[in-house]
Chains A and B, each alone.
Chain A
Amino acid sequence: MNQVSDAESLPQTTAGAAVSGAVKRDVAFKRSKGGSTLSSMARHALLVAVSALLILPFFWMVASALKDNTQIFAQPVVWWPFPGHWDNFGKAATYPGFPYLLMLGNSIFYAGTVMIGTVLSCALVGYGFARLRFPGRGLLFGVTLATQMLPTIILFIPTYILFKYLGMIGSYMPLILPAFFGNAFFIFLLRQFFMGIPWELSEAAKIDGASEFRIFWQIMLPLVRPALIVVAVFTLLWTWQDFFGPLVYLSDQSQYPLTLGLFAFQAQRTTEWALLMAGSVLVTLPLVIVFGFTQRYFVQGISMTGIKG
């Protein structure tokens, strides 16, 4: 599809380059069209309207988190509940059924471990597929691509039964262990990057007597760092948002990650909308912070791979 096949081009595809590219295109477009300001204004209006619609649920979550219960469904609609009930966040975070800090720790542990396992295993396997020749490699890689099309549910119940036999239900093991054995999509992605590194580099290291593992660890890994970060941030995002896995495997509330905690909170307090929205904000906030720092890797990830998020 859209995969970047050589690692060199990655650092250049920053948002800045894309913006300057867009400027050039816009100029070219205007030139060819004779610069119609009317249609430009219409486009602008459409974008503003769509953006407003897309931001509305997000805004409503935050605004409702700052309301008291009488403002939630008040008529006329309360759009701007400021100065706001900031104590809702404290109330939600210390609510008996919603021990926020404990669950934050669980989510960090869950997402962090899966992230480390996925990056390590996919880098190893991706490197093996890209740079080392062994019998059956093509077939194995073909199988790897094919498994991406498998709906995850077909794997779920037998995997549950397997972990049941291993006595691991009710722990995080079933949720994190598979990550240490690779993920088809990210293996494919990293393979593409490893393939783009010039062969002279590894040949030279081999002549100097470096082992395959040392070449991988000390020479190759640093060269694909941006791609590793893309794998890391998307794994973090998806694991943080995971609901089905924890729902099936975890039973003790002290183990719940934030998503499952929010679900349990909702089941208890269906009418406390302000607190539920405060809880929703608290569950989402860590991802927004991470996104703020790694935005350009999200953008790259999307354009490289068609990852949807």
Chain B
Amino acid sequence: MAVFAKSGWRTSSQRQREALAGVLFVSPWIVSLLVFTAYPVLATFYLSLTNYNVISSPEWVGFQNYQTMLSSDPDFWKSLGNTAYYTLISVPVGLIAALGLALVLNMRARGIGFYRTIFYLPALVPPVASALVFMLLFNTDGLANSFLGLLHIPHQDWFLNPNLSKPVLIVMSLWGVGAATLIFLAGLQEVPQSLLESASLDGANPWQRFRHVILPLLSPIILFNLIMGMISSFQVFTQAIIIGGTNGEPLGSSLMLMVLIYRNAFHYFAMGYAEALTVVLFLLILLLTLVIFLSSRLWVYYEGGRS
């Protein structure tokens, strides 16, 4: 009895010590969650209902910022349209291109390390530098127009024509397709060879093997990349501000939501209005994420035992 009591007492004291150690280990993160996550999220919603210029204290205005945004700020609608255009093209095209390249790369035996390096290289170039390179490539006298010249297509003013500035931004985003390719490649290398072989024995052609074996196994990775790509695309900033400045030249055609938020917050110090824009951006991302998640029940396949 005494032994039992003693060991029971020791266990609970050990448990307490372990709990104390655990809380100490994660304490930096608890601070971060409170100071750098919970406070900013709550403050964002609160400030969006105020006028605040950082110097005087916030003045409560209710939903006025939202009313201004929706009814009398053409830049809001413009930037929303531009951001949606950019995201809805660059994310799906990027995903399909990356998946296709990964499939081709997965069939190659030799030189896979070499291709890996080439595919990852663009991810190393800081967005500021890559934006400058693309400004040079798509300059009116630049290489892109030289190629068009070879095809007898007249030179385009890529950065003066409002219809062409977003396509250039999309092409720039596709330059990063190699990194996504490598993610898919890693997923493809986990597809069990035995499954593909037995599908072949059952008479499946390459398309059927892709459609019914490879694609279901990759679908969780596709879901992950789709959501993460969508979230980061909606927040495109660096490339857009370097190409179009804070006004999204030409004619607001490259004005993205993030650039509009930046302009209102740090040029006009209209923090309340910038926060209202932020809330709208956040709700849009949340809504799209939910839609993708709900739809994923129909198209994402989870292997038993995996989470």
Contacts and interface: CB of A to CB of B under 8 A. Distances in A.
B128 A161 contact: no
Nearest to B286: A149
Q: Is the interface of B mostly helix, strand, loop or mixed?
A: helix
B29 A283 contact: no
Contacts of A54: 118-119, 121-122, 175, 177-178
A26 B105 CA distance: 11
A61 to B, nearest CB: 5
Interface residues of B, number: 106
Contact of A240 (B37, B126, B142): B126
A143 B29 CA distance: 11
A216 B26 CA distance: 13
Interface string A181-204: 110000100000000000000000
Interface stretch (A14-22, A82-90, A92-100, A224-232): A14-22
Q: Is the interface of A mostly helix, strand, loop or mixed?
A: helix
B242 interface: yes
Nearest to B289: A149
Contacts, number: 298
A104 to B, nearest CB: 13
B238 A243 contact: yes
Interface string B121-135: 111111111101110
Interface in B77-128: 101, 104-109, 112-113, 115-128
Interface string B10-34: 0000010111111111101111110
Interface stretch (B59-67, B162-170, B181-189): B181-189
A47 B175 CA distance: 15
A161 B36 CA distance: 12
A266 B277 CA distance: 29
A121 B132 contact: no
Contact of B41 (A137, A154, A258): A154
A302 B183 contact: yes
Q: Which range contains the number of A residues in contact with the other chain?
A: 35 or more
Nearest to A135: B19
A275 to B, nearest CB: 11
Contacts of A19: 112-113
A134 interface: yes
A270 to B, nearest CB: 9
Interface in A44-93: 44, 46-47, 50-51, 54-55, 57-58, 60-61, 64, 72-73, 75, 77
B25 A132 contact: yes
Interface stretch (B1-9, B224-232, B247-255): B224-232
A150 B136 contact: no
A308 B136 contact: no
Nearest 4 Cβ contacts at the A-B interface = A128-B25, A132-B22, A303-B186, A309-B123
Interface of A: 1-2, 15, 18-19, 21-29, 32-33, 40, 43-44, 46-47, 50-51, 54-55, 57-58, 60-61, 64, 72-73, 75, 77, 121, 124-125, 127-129, 132-135, 137, 140, 143-144, 147, 149-162, 164, 178, 180-182, 187, 212-213, 216, 237, 240-241, 243-244, 248, 258-260, 262-263, 266, 273, 276-277, 280, 283-284, 287-288, 291, 295, 298-299, 302-303, 306-309
6 contacts: A55-B121, A128-B22, A158-B39, A260-B128, A276-B132, A308-B183
